[in-house]
Amino acid sequence: MPRRLSTSDAAFDDAFDAFLELKRDTESNVEGVVADILSAVRARGDAAVAEFTERFDGVDLSVAGFRFSAEEIAGAAAVVDMVYGGQTTDLVARARELKLPAADGREVLLHQGIAQFAAFTQRVPPKEEMRKALMR
């Protein structure tokens, strides 16, 4: 939950100290949690994905299902699929059949890389070279 603090508040020092004392995951905690999640997904597949989706996102996939319905896809303004394997996913293929703007995970990854290159170097990224490297 976002917390708004203002240095002009009389209780700022106490509120800021309390904020600093909150438990936070350290890098090693995060790495361990992610490793456990990946291990569970490798071992239990979709059952683990459903469990973590309910735990972290509050969505019960036994009710919502894993796939978007044809109606959901048709009603979308655009489709972004985060999978960045070498083949087009069914979701992106169905969206393109419906003439919807669609981006797969490789396109997302490319644009993340372009933004990071620009942020870190303060230079215009070599977009086409980056695209070619990603598509190899």
pLDDT at 118 over 80: yes
Q: What pLDDT is recorded for position 63?
A: 83
Q: Evaluate if residue 15 carries a pLDDT over 90.
A: no
- Mean confidence (pLDDT) of the chain: 88
DSSP state of 64: H
87: three-class secondary structure by DSSP = coil
Q: Rounded to 5 degrees, what are φ and ψ at 92?
A: -65, -40
CATH number assigned to the domain covering 68-136: 3.40.50.720
What token pair was written down for 34? 């992610």
Residue 3's pLDDT band, with cuts at 50, 70 and 90, is low
State pLDDT tens for residues 24-65. Answer: 656 667 788 889 999 999 999 989 999 999 998 888 888 878
1 pLDDT tier (thresholds 50, 70, 90)? very low
Q: Is 102 strand, coil or helix? A: strand
Q: What percent of the chain has pLDDT over 90?
A: 54
CA atoms within 13 A on the CB side of 55: 7
pLDDT at 111: 93
Model pLDDT, residue 26: 63
Q: What pLDDT does residue 27 have?
A: 63
Domain locations in the chain as residue ranges: 10-66, 68-136
CB 107 within 8 A of CB 134: no
Which CA distances in Å does 1 have to 4, 29, 56, 60, 64?
Answer: 10, 20, 14, 22, 25
What's the rounded Cα separation, in Å, for the pair 69 and 15? 47
